[in-house]
């Protein structure tokens, strides 16, 4: 008679093919492969392995969330870029003995540094900086003109606090509705959206107008309501083409009139 297994008498579950140290807990609805608990993705009663769960036709929102989870966005890198300026300000004020301003500079430096490192406290802390600076200015008896830079700074801080993309960077949970909106802004026919932006810009900067028409036509071609997930923004693309066209005609007419001015009287 053979000796019983040393570790456990229970029959062992097969290991996960991607994480051999983890036991598999089920098989994927789509590919039939084993998955472990950590990577299992559930959509509408069905469970998928990690590879299948993020496919566009299975769960495009979950896929986007995993892609952006903990990943720095442009704002995080901008925070890092601004850190040396805040630090230089802090040191310069400290060396001049202006401790009042040095403390404010140090607070800025700490918040932007922590933001870049993904410290969650940096997100609410950013909201405190504009009021702190306002307090600092008022203490020194400055006029209310200091609100001119502080009001937009406060607006930006509030916007960043509310941003779904920023929440994903800080690895904070977001609901499906927020993910849907982020998807619509980022991934749903971005060329059509860019066409509209270029179309509006073309009204002021004429060289952008032909680009708006081109992007609009490509964006229009990509619209496919039957795809999974659906590709939309038809109106954005159309507006880009039309605004671009109006700009091209308008600016051409304007330039021609400038070249052959109507002789007076
Ligand atoms: Zn699978
Ligand atoms: Zn696994």
Condensed to tens digits (0 to 9), the pLDDT of residues 99-120 reads: 999 999 999 999 999 999 999 9
Q: What mean pLDDT value characterizes the chain?
A: 89
**pLDDT given at position 86:** 97
Residues 40 and 92 occupy one common structural domain: no
Residues 96 and 150 occupy one common structural domain: yes
C-alpha dihedral (144, 150, 151, 153), degrees to nearest 10: 180
140 DSSP 8-state letter: T
Distance 40 CA to ligand 1 centre (A): 9
| Per-position DSSP letters for 78-116, written without gaps between them | HHHHHHHHHHHHHHHHHHTT-HHHHHHHHHHHHHHHHHH
Distance 35 CA to ligand 2 centre (A): 5
Distance 52 CA to ligand 1 centre (A): 4
Assign 227 to helix, strand or coil.
coil
Query: From the CA of 46, which ligand is nearest?
Result: 1
Q: Does 12 map to a domain? A: no
Q: Does 3 map to a domain? A: no
Query: From the CA of 51, which ligand is nearest?
Result: 1
pLDDT tens digit sequence for 218-255: 999 999 998 878 899 999 999 999 999 999 999 998 88
Residues 79 and 54 occupy one common structural domain: no
Residues 164 and 248 occupy one common structural domain: no
Is the pLDDT higher at 101 or at 50?
A: 101
Overall number of domains in the chain: 3
Residues 160 and 193 occupy one common structural domain: no
Query: From the CA of 16, which ligand is nearest?
Result: 2
Confidence band for 264, pLDDT divided at 50, 70 and 90:
low
3-state helix, strand, coil in the chain (%, to 5): 65, 5, 30
Residues 78 and 149 occupy one common structural domain: yes
Calculate mean pLDDT across residues 81-100: 96
Give the range among 41-50, 130-139, 173-182, 206-215 with minimum mean pLDDT: 41-50
Distance 28 CA to ligand 1 centre (A): 5
Q: Does 4 map to a domain? A: no
Containing structural domain, residue 104? 74-169
Query: From the CA of 28, which ligand is nearest?
Result: 1
How far, in Å, CA of 52 to CA of 75, rounded? Answer: 31
Residues 129 and 151 occupy one common structural domain: yes
**pLDDT given at position 262:** 59
In percent, how much of the chain has pLDDT > 90? 61
Q: Does 59 map to a domain? A: yes
Q: Does 176 map to a domain? A: no
Planar angle of CA 131, 136, 137, nearest 5 degrees? 100
* Pairing assessment for the beta strands 41-43 and 34-36 based on DSSP bridges: unpaired
Residue 224 falls in which region: left (phi positive, over 0), alpha (psi -120 to 50) or beta = beta
Q: How far is CA 86 from CA 23, 82, 92, 139, in A?
A: 49, 7, 10, 21
Domain termination residue (choose one: 139, 169, 199) = 169
Distance 116 CA to ligand 2 centre (A): 30
Q: Does 223 map to a domain? A: yes
Q: Does 86 map to a domain? A: yes
Query: From the CA of 27, which ligand is nearest?
Result: 1
Distance 182 CA to ligand 1 centre (A): 25
Q: How far is CA 105 from CA 60, 151, 164, 179, 240, in A?
A: 42, 18, 28, 35, 44
User: Long-range pairs for 175-184 at CB < 8 Å and ≥24 separation?
Assistant: 176/61, 179/61, 179/64, 179/65, 180/61, 182/64, 183/60, 183/61, 183/64, 183/229, 184/232
Q: Does 1 map to a domain? A: no
Neighbours of ion ligand 2 (CB under 5 A): 16, 18-19, 36, 39
pLDDT tens digit sequence for 6-48: 444 345 778 998 889 999 999 998 899 999 988 888 777 788 8
Residues 123 and 199 occupy one common structural domain: no
Distance 245 CA to ligand 2 centre (A): 53
Distance 54 CA to ligand 1 centre (A): 10
Calculate mean pLDDT across residues 172-186: 90
**pLDDT given at position 11:** 58
């Amino acid at each position: 008679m053979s000796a019983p297994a040393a570790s456990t008498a229970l029959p062992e579950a097969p290991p996960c093919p991607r994480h051999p140290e983890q036991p598999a807990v089920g098989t994927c609805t789509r590919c039939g492969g084993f998955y472990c608990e950590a990577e299992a993705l559930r959509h509408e009663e069905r469970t998928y392995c990690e590879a299948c769960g993020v496919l566009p036709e299975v769960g495009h929102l979950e896929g986007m969330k995993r892609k952006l989870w903990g990943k720095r966005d442009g704002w995080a890198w901008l925070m890092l870029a601004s850190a040396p300026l805040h630090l230089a300000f802090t040191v310069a004020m400290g060396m001049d003995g202006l401790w009042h301003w040095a403390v404010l500079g140090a607070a800025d430096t700490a918040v932007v540094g922590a933001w870049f490192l993904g410290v969650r406290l940096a997100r609410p802390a950013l909201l405190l900086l504009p009021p702190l600076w306002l307090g600092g200015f008022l203490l020194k008896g400055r006029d209310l003109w200091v609100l001119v830079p502080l009001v937009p700074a406060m607006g930006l801080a509030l916007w960043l606090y509310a941003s779904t993309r920023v929440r994903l960077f800080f690895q904070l949970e977001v609901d499906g509705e927020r993910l849907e909106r982020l998807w619509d802004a980022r991934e749903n026919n971005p060329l059509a959206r860019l066409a509209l932006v270029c179309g509006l810009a073309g009204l002021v900067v004429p060289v952008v107008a032909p680009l708006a028409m081109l992007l609009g036509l490509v964006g229009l071609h990509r619209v496919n309501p039957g795809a999974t997930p659906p590709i939309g923004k038809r109106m954005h693309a159309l507006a880009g083409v039309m605004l671009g066209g109006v700009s091209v005609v308008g600016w051409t007419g304007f330039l021609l009139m400038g070249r052959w001015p109507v002789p007076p009287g």
